[in-house]
Structure 1
Amino acid sequence: MVSRLTRRLLVAAAATALAVTASTLTRNPADAAVTLPPAHAKFDYQIGGAYTPPAGVQVVTRDRTATPAAGLYNICYVNAFQVQPGEQGQWGSDLLLRDAKGNLVIDEDWGEPLLDLRTADKRNRIAAKVNGWIDGCAGKGYKAIEPDNYDSYTRSKNLLTAGQAKAYLTLLATHAHSKSLAIGQKNTVELAGDRTSVGLDFAVAEECGQYDECGDYVDAFGNNVIVIEYTDNGRRTACSQYGGTLSIVQRDVDVSVPGDSGYVRKTC
C-alpha cells in the first residue's frame, strides 16, 4: 500500500515533469541549445580570405568555403539572399528575382542578383539549397551562421517585402538550430525587434557606430552584438559608446588579408 507521503512525492514529481515539458514546448526558437559567440570577445572578420588570426582573437567569421580557425569560435558566412558573382548558373532561373521586363534585379554595389522570395514554394526551394550550405558549415566545425543580405528587400525595386525576408530567414534559423548552430542577424536594424519570432540569436552589425544604430541592436540582442566598422570615425564612435561591452573591429571594405595594400584591422 502506497503511503500518503509517497503519493504526495509522486504527485509533486509528476507536476515538475509536466512543467518542464511545457517549458520545453513553448521555448522560443532563439533559445535553442546552441552556443553563442562570447560577448565582448576580440573578433576578426575574414570573409575576404582566411589568415592566421591576430593574437588574442577569440571569434572569427570566415566564408563557408573556408576552414574554421583552430581553437576559436568560428562563424560561417553565407550569402543567403543574393547570388555571389559567378554563381548565377548554380540557381534555377525562376529563383532569380526579375522585374516586369524580365531583367534581373541586381545589388549594384556588389554585382549580385537578388533571390526571389515572393512565394512559399520559392522560399522553400531556396532554403533547401542554402540549408545544404549550412550543413556544410556544421560538418566543418563552425559554431554559428551569418546569413548575409537580410536587407536585400530594400534593394528589390519594391518587389520583395520585409515579411517575405523574415519568413525565409525563419526557415534558415530553424534548420541551423536543428544542427546546433547559432544564427545571427546581419544588419537590417529595422527588423531587430522581430529577432525572437524569426529565431535569431545574436547580431552582426556593420557600421552601427557610423550611423548611430548600435543602441538599437543592443536593445534587441543585449551584448550579443558584433560590430564591424569601415571608417576611423565609426570605430571611434562605437568604441566610445560600447567598447567595454561589445565585440568591435574596424576592417577595410574589401575585407582583405594581411600583405594586401588596402588591409586594415583596428580595434578599440
Structure 2
Amino acid sequence: MRRAASALLAAAVVGVALVGCAGEQVAGGGPTASGAGSADVALLPTGAVPDYQLGGAYEPADGVGIVGRDRSAEPADGVYSICYVNGFQTQPGELDDWADDLLLQDDGEPVFDPDWPDEALLDTSTAERRDRIAAMVGPWIDGCAESGFDAVEFDNLDSYTRSDDALTLDDNLALATLLVERAHASGLAAGQKNAAEDAAALRDRAGFDFAVVEECAAYEECGAYTAVYDDQVIDIEYTDELPRPFAEMCADPDSPVSMVLRDRDLQPADADGHVFETCR
C-alpha cells in the first residue's frame, strides 16, 4: 500500500508488455500476451470489479473479478489474483533479512521511507547490488506463481525520489527489468504500482503489463496511467481522502474502468472500519 501508501528473457519483455495486443481468452476473462521464448501471461480481465486485500484476506464479494493480496497470502479462488511484492524497500519486520550493503546508507545508517519509517530503501545504484536484490526477490515471485497467482505487482518503484538523489530512475528501471523478466519467466503478468510520472518508461523500458494505482482519481492523475496502459489499470480510492463523492469519480470518463473504494487500512470484511464499495 503506497501513497505518501537474474536477466532471464530480455528479448521477450517488449512483446509481453504490449497490453493492447489481441490474445486468447483465459478462464479469468483476460487476454494473454506472449513474447518470443516467454511463457504466456494472462492480462487483467477488462473492466472487472477489483478488491484490494493487503490488510487481510477474506472471501471476495459477489461480482468481484480481480483481487490483490500480499505474497504471504493465498490467491483468491476463481478470480484473477495479483500478488503484492515490495520490490524496492524492505517489508516491515524483514529488515534483518537484508545484507547491510543492500540497504541505502546515509552516514552509515539505513535510509528509511519518511512515510513508512519501518521500510528501508534498497540500494539499486550498482548492477552488482541490483543482481543481489533480484536474487532475494526472485523466490518471492516464484512463490507467487507456485501459489496460483496470475500476476505480481511491484511496489515502491519510485523509491529513488526518496533517496536524496542517491538513486536514479535508471537505477530502479534496471532492477525493475530484472523483476519483470523473472515474473514473465514464472508465467505471471507484471504490474507497476503507482509512480504515475514514470508509467511510460516502466512499460516501454522495463516491460510492465498493467498498473495498480492508488487515489489516481483523488489526485487527478488517472490519465497518466490510462494513456500508457489503456484498460489495464486498477485504481483503489480511500475513504479518508475523497475530494468528491465516489459516485462522481465512477462517472468520470477519466477514471479507470476497474476502480474500488476501500478503507485506508484495508481491513478484512469482518473488521471494524471495513469499507468496500464499487462503481456498480
TM-score (norm 2): 0.83
Percent same amino acid among aligned pairs? 50
Q: Work out which of the residue numbers 38, 44, 58 in structure 1 matches 2:45.
A: 38
- Bigger Cα Rg: 1
Preserved contact between residue 173 and residue 183 of structure 1 (Cα < 8 Å): yes
Tell me, in whole angstroms, the C-alpha distance in 1 between the residues paired with 2:248 and 2:172. Answer: 30
| Aligned match of 2:56 | 49
1:233 matches 2:233: no
What are the Cα deviations for residues 127-159 of structure 1, in whole angstroms up to 9, with x where unaligned?
111111000000001000011111111111221
Say which SS state the counterpart of residue 183 (structure 1) adopts.
strand
Distance in 2 of aligned mates of 1:85 and 1:63: 13
Alignment of 1:84-233 (within 5 A): 84-99=91-106, 101-111=107-117, 112-194=119-201, 195-231=203-239, 232-233=242-243
Q: Is the 8 A contact 1:74 1:143 kept in 2?
A: yes
Give, in whole Å, the separation in 2 of the partners of 1:107 and 1:198. 23
1:173 and 1:25 map into 2 onto residues whose CA distance is 10
- Are the counterparts in 2 of residues 118 and 160 from structure 1 also a CA contact under 8 Å? yes
Alignment partner of 2:211: what SS? strand
Output the CA distance in 2 between the equivalents of 1:139 and 1:181.
Answer: 10
Deviation at 1:103, TM superposition (A): 1.8
Amino acid at match of 1:215: G
Q: Does the 8 Å contact 1:80/1:130 carry over to 2? A: yes
Tell me what 1:9 maps to. none
Change (3 A) 1:244 1:104: closer
Contact kept, 8 Å, 2:152 with 2:190, in 1: the verdict is: yes
- The structural deviation recorded for 1:260 is 2.1
Q: Is the 8 A contact 1:40 1:244 kept in 2?
A: no
Q: Tell me how large the CA RMSD over aligned residues is.
A: 1.8
Counterpart of 1:204 in structure 2: which amino acid? Answer: V
Greater percentage in helix: 1
Q: Secondary structure at the match of 1:173?
A: helix
Which residues of structure 2 form unaligned runs of 5+? 1-10, 19-33, 35-39
Cα distance in structure 2, aligned partners of 1:239 and 1:128: 40
**Shift of residue 26, structure 1, vs aligned partner:** 9.5
Distance 1:243 1:84 in 2: 33
1:242–1:75 CA distance, 2 compared to 1 (3 A): farther
142-151 or 257-266: bigger deviation: 257-266
